[in-house]
Each structure stands twice: as structure tokens, then as C-alpha cells.
Amino acid sequence: MPELPEVEIVKRSLKNTVKYKKIKKIIVKNRNLRFRIQRDFEKLLEGRSILNVSRFSKYVVIILDNQKYCLIHLGMTGTLHIINYKKKKKITNLSFYQSKTLPEKHNHIKIKFSNFMIIYNDPRRFGFFKLLDNKIELKKYFNKFGPDAISNNFDSKYVKNKFLNKKKNIKSCLLDQSFVSGIGNIYANEILFLCKINPFKLANKIADKEINKLVKYTKLVLNLAIKFGGSTIKDFKNIKGESGLFQKKFKVYDRENKNCCRKYCKGKIVKIFISNRSSFFCKLCQKK
């Protein structure tokens, strides 16, 4: 599943493509995504102009000129493709994962503009589109989420307050979207390694200095991943058809049995499972 950096790249690509453009026609070929697409979806979107495209957590948010909001969640295998009517590209993928070209069998939604169209393709159909009527509904929808991981709201004071009396391991906390939004399994492993925190360590045992490091390295890792175009797992591609490069920067993820990359550490990377998610860490420098 794409994490915050990959969704941020999708958002930027989509924003560059559709901002200030008018939607001419919507074609829904399959309403049965994770949540069934509402019956009047086409009617509510056709003729509307897109004022902006933003992101919160792992959601792309399209802001329409009638003050409605369209949320897009890509699930496990959802991709957005741009088809230019005049310039047929071999590479159509606006986002990432799976094929960089358009596998038509799983095209579920077509959003047509004057000179191009955006196609949503999703083999496993875990993604979804959801329309919200106003900003109040948008805020209400995201009320259950913690602050976006790269926002100013995710700071040491917030984390310290949340960790008081919290008897839950730190790895699970980082993956809990009600605590902090946007971090997935890959980046949680990388963040904890840089902090020298064992993934099994309980949140209420995290010292103030470690909390400061946690906030610092969360933002550092995620922003660095965005800079390097995300992590290529299963053929990640950006709008130019280029692979993400951050996987070349991995310190622990998918490095089981390899030597710790810290200069003076003689430990090896081990792999264990926490809440059915693979966790990679150095037993020597990430002591509990």
C-alpha cells in the first residue's frame, strides 16, 4: 500500500495536470470498489472545475469549484493514468505501482477533460472515491485521524502527551493512523532505526530525548523519500515513468541478515512480525 511519500507524489502529479481544468464527462464502468460509488457521482462532478488538489495522510483530496471535495484512496493497487487525446504516450501512469502502461481490464472510472482524460485502474479494487459536500464534512471525516506526519501539528509536545500511560509498542503506534497519519510499514522501520529505538519498546517508556528524535526523523525520512521519488516496491513509477529511488536508501527494511549499516555497529538486521507486519531492526543498536 502506498504511504505518505508516494501519495504526495501522486498529488503533485495530479495537481500539475488537472488544476483549473473543467470536468467534461465522467464514466463509471464499475461502482464496486472498496465502497460502492454513489449513484449521482457523475452528475455531481460533470461540469465542475477543479480549484486545487491536496493531500492528507494517504488520501488525495480534489477541491471542486462548488466547494465539494472528492477523496481518492488508492488502496493496494489503484493507479491513476493520464491519456492525452493528441499525444498518445506509452507511459500513462500518473502515480506508481504495478504496470506503468494502462492495463484496460481493470479501468473503473474515466474522468474526461477537453484535451485528456484521467483513468482510475485498480485490479484488487481496495481503493475508493468519496464525495463530501463541504469543508465541515471534510474536517469531520478526518477527525478520527492523527496529525499528518510531516505537518507542524506532529511535534514533541503532541507525542509526549499521547504516550503518557500508553502501554503499546512504538512500532504499532507509528502505524496507528489515529495517532499519526501517513506512516506505513516501510517508513516506520526506517524511522525507528534512525532513532535507535527497538520496535517492541512500549510508548510510555520512550524518553523525552527519544520523542524528540522520533519527531525529527519522521519528518526527515518522509521528506527525503518524497525528494527521491518514493520507494519502488513492485515497479513504482512516477509521472515520468521513472522509478522511485528511496529504496536505495533503506537502512533496515528488507535487509534481513545483512550487516547493520552503522559504521561502528557489528549487529545484523533481523526480521520479526509485529501485529502481522514485518519489522526489521538491528538487535545490537536498537536495544529494548
Catalytic residue flag (residue 104): no
Answer yes or no: are the C-beta atoms of 252 and 280 closer than 8 Å: yes
Catalytic residue flag (residue 201): no
Residue of 31, 162, 166, 277 marked catalytic? 277
Catalytic residue flag (residue 58): yes
* Burial of residue 112 (number of CB atoms within 10 Å: 0-12, 13-18, 19+): middle
Name the CA dihedral angle for 261, 266, 270, 274, rounded to a multiple of 10 degrees. -80
Answer yes or no: are the C-beta atoms of 252 and 286 closer than 8 Å: no
Residue of 2, 5, 147, 199 marked catalytic? 2
Residue of 11, 58, 237, 255 marked catalytic? 58
* CA 232 and chain centroid, separation: 13
Catalytic residue flag (residue 2): yes
Residues 6+ apart with CB under 8 A from 271: 256, 278, 279, 280
Give me the residue label for grid cell 496507528: 176
Selection from 156, 153, 64, 78 nearest residue 118 by Cα: 78
How many residues would you count in the chain? 288
Catalytic residue annotation = 2-3, 58, 277
